């Protein structure tokens, strides 16, 4: 199979999921309704109408399913021969690929599908290998202060570079007003957060070792799921004894569901409710098809110990494990609400539309996830506006330009 994701791969995936989810769901709902409807014929001892119905329905659905499978196999064959434009050639294609990875990226990786994204630094829409020559070529003006941007669910590095806005992006502000070098990461958001944390840890260790100049400081900026990945990476790096975390001066989390995302909790609850009625059970199966990365958002899981060996789609999952933050780094948690205050009725119910204020603030059921985190609040702002907000840009410039102060650690309490 071609290692380049092509439009024919996208077509094949759409046909395969059309067979599995759409045709399969309609067939199961139809069957559940029919079994209930034919109870009357069974009572009078005749199963002939039901048998005829089942035979006709089986033929129709079997034909549809077979046609989709044949078409999907044909599209895969064309992709393997290099037929079809590379998906990453256009911004739209890259966006579609990122969204698909967020929804089913774990399955794509398991199947070896070329559409599965591998974590990498990105510049001008292409991967930048973490080798000395490639990094020197991609970042000719490299400095010793890296600002690493990590995007959110179903997104890619271009989410930070949304065009058509009058204000400059965070990357443009930092490039113009600081001496730091912004670098953008793309990753498969359908994988477990803990796994992406491992990949980010390994990537940054390679980048620091191969960077054109000595790296003396790192600022981590994670948006939404990206904030969890950043925290997972520092946790994993600390356990592994890697050196790059010692250079981290600031960790910035924008709208990150540290204590979980209500939308994922609602999806989990909805799938459980739909399974109560036989006719609705197939729709619950569709909800349960969401990726491991999405399921991790239910309670902000960032370590493998929180999910390994468990079926997270079958349990509510309240047993979160606190990961130790970097004691020497400044943590900045930025929360937003769609109302003018956190107590506004809309804010209390919807938060920033996707993440509740308390979760973005890093306050869980057992207290703060990072004791010394500084909270910044942006009122009357929705979740996606945090990707390019003038107040947030001002804060980023200030934090990047500030000289990090050594943190005084309190002695352990007796």
Query: Per-residue pLDDT for 389 more than 60?
Result: yes
| pLDDT (tens digit per residue) in 171-226 | 999 999 999 999 999 999 999 999 999 999 999 999 999 999 999 999 999 999 99
| pLDDT (tens digit per residue) in 227-246 | 999 999 999 999 889 999 99
pLDDT of residue 205: 97
Query: Per-residue pLDDT for 163 more than 60?
Result: no
Q: How far apart are the first and last CA of the chain?
A: 61
Q: Is the dihedral of CA 136, 142, 143, 145 positive or negative?
A: negative
Report strand pairing: 126-128 vs 120-123: antiparallel
- Per mean pLDDT, which of 1-10, 178-187, 254-263 is the most reliable? 178-187
Give the residue, 6 or 29, on which the prediction is more confident: 6
How far apart (Å, rounded) are the C-alpha atoms in residues 312 and 289?
12
What's the token pair of residue 227?
């904030």
Beta bridge partners of 302: none
Q: At what angle do helices 170-177 and 390-401 cross, to 10 degrees?
A: 40
At the fourth CATH level, the homologous superfamily of domain 120-261+319-401 is: Alpha/Beta hydrolase fold, catalytic domain (3.40.50.1820)
Q: At what angle do helices 24-37 and 48-80 cross, to 10 degrees?
A: 180
Q: Which residues have C-beta within 8 Å of that of residue 13, sequence separation ≥ 6?
A: 72, 100, 113, 115
| pLDDT (tens digit per residue) in 289-343 | 567 888 888 777 787 665 555 554 554 444 455 567 898 999 999 999 999 999 9
What's the token pair of residue 325?
């933050």
How far apart (Å, rounded) are the C-alpha atoms in residues 160 and 152?
10
Closest CA to 162 of 149, 179, 145: 149
| pLDDT (tens digit per residue) in 82-106 | 888 888 999 999 999 999 899 889 9
Helix (H, G, I), strand (E, B) or coil at 121: strand
Query: Per-residue pLDDT for 413 more than 50?
Result: no
- Give, in degrees to the nearest 5, the angle at Cα 307 between 219 and 103: 70
Query: Per-residue pLDDT for 283 more than 70?
Result: no
Helix (H, G, I), strand (E, B) or coil at 183: strand
Query: Per-residue pLDDT for 280 more than 60?
Result: no
Beta bridge partners of 182: 147
Q: Which residues have C-beta within 8 Å of that of residue 299, sequence separation ≥ 6?
A: 259, 260, 306, 317, 318, 320
Regarding pTM above 0.75, the answer is yes
């Amino acid at each position: 199979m071609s290692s380049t994701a092509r439009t024919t791969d996208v077509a094949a995936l759409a046909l395969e999921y059309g067979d599995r989810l759409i045709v399969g769901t309609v067939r199961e709902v139809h069957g559940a309704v029919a079994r209930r409807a034919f109870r009357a014929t069974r009572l009078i001892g005749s199963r002939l109408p039901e048998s005829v119905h089942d035979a006709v329905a089986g033929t129709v659905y079997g034909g549809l399913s077979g046609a989709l499978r044949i078409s999907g196999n044909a599209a895969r064959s064309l992709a393997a021969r290099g037929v079809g434009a590379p998906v990453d050639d256009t911004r739209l294609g890259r966006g579609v690929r990122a969204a698909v990875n967020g929804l089913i990226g774990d399955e794509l990786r398991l199947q070896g599908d070329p559409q599965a994204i591998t974590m990498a630094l990105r510049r001008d829409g292409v991967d930048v290998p973490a080798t000395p020559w490639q990094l020197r070529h991609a970042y000719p003006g490299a400095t010793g202060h890296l600002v690493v941007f990590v995007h959110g669910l179903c997104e890619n590095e271009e989410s930070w570079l949304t065009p058509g806005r009058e204000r400059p992006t965070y990357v443009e502000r930092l490039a113009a007003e600081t001496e730091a070098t912004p670098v953008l990461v793309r990753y498969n958001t359908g994988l477990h957060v803990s796994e992406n944390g491992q990949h980010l840890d390994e990537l940054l260790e390679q980048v620091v070792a191969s960077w054109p100049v000595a790296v003396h400081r790192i600022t981590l900026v994670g948006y939404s799921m990206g904030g969890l990945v950043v925290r997972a990476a520092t946790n994993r790096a600390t356990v592994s004894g890697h050196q790059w975390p010692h250079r981290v001066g600031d960790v910035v989390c924008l709208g990150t569901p540290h204590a979980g995302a209500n939308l994922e909790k609602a999806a989990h609850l909805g799938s459980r409710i739909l399974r109560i009625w036989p006719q609705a059970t197939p729709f619950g199966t569709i909800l349960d098809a969401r990726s491991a990365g999405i399921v991790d958002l239910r309670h902000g899981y960032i370590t493998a110990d929180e999910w390994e060996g468990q079926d997270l789609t079958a349990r509510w999952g309240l047993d979160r494990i606190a990961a130790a933050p970097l004691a020497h780094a400044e943590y900045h948690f930025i929360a937003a609400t769609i109302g003018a205050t956190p107590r506004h009725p809309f804010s209390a119910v919807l938060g920033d539309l996707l993440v509740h204020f308390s979760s973005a603030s890093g306050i869980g059921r057992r207290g703060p996830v990072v004791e010394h985190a500084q909270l910044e609040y942006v009122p009357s702002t929705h979740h996606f506006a945090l990707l390019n907000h003038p107040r947030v840009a001002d804060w980023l410039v200030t934090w990047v330009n500030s000289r990090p102060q050594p943190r005084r650690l309190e002695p352990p309490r007796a």
